[in-house]
Amino acid sequence: MHQKSRAALLGALLAVPLGALAQHSPRTPDPADPAAPVRPIVYESVITRPSPEPQGGAPTPDKLWRAANEAVAPPPAPADHGKHHQARQTQ
């Protein structure tokens, strides 16, 4: 009998969270209602905010980006690259 009461107690404890799911959710405004309340739109331009100066002569992010790109960039192609292909097409 003791085993059955434990199982009933465990079942009741596991069923308690289901009651929370059955509660009504707060009403949300109808998206089709033009008079529905909405939060105000706040815009802050990033251009008007001053950017911090680099500390201790550190390079700026644009210099770091350029150096990283130059480190992995392929070597430039010769100036006459592709001329033989163009000559073959015109014949």
Residues in the chain: 91
Residues 6+ positions from 67 with CB-CB distance below 8 Å: 59
Quote the tokens at residue 28: 């949300």
Specify whether the CB–CB gap between 33 and 26 falls below 8 A. Answer: no
Q: 2-37, pLDDT tens digit by residue?
A: 788 888 888 888 877 776 676 676 778 888 999 988
- Residues 88 and 90: their CA atoms lie apart, in Å, by 6
Token pair for 44 = 């802050």
Instruction: Tell me the helices (H) and strands (E) count for the chain, helix number first.
Output: 3, 0
d(CA 72, CA 24): 58
Summary mean pLDDT of the chain: 77
Is the pLDDT confidence value at 79 over 80?
no
Question: Bigger pLDDT: 42 or 86?
Answer: 42
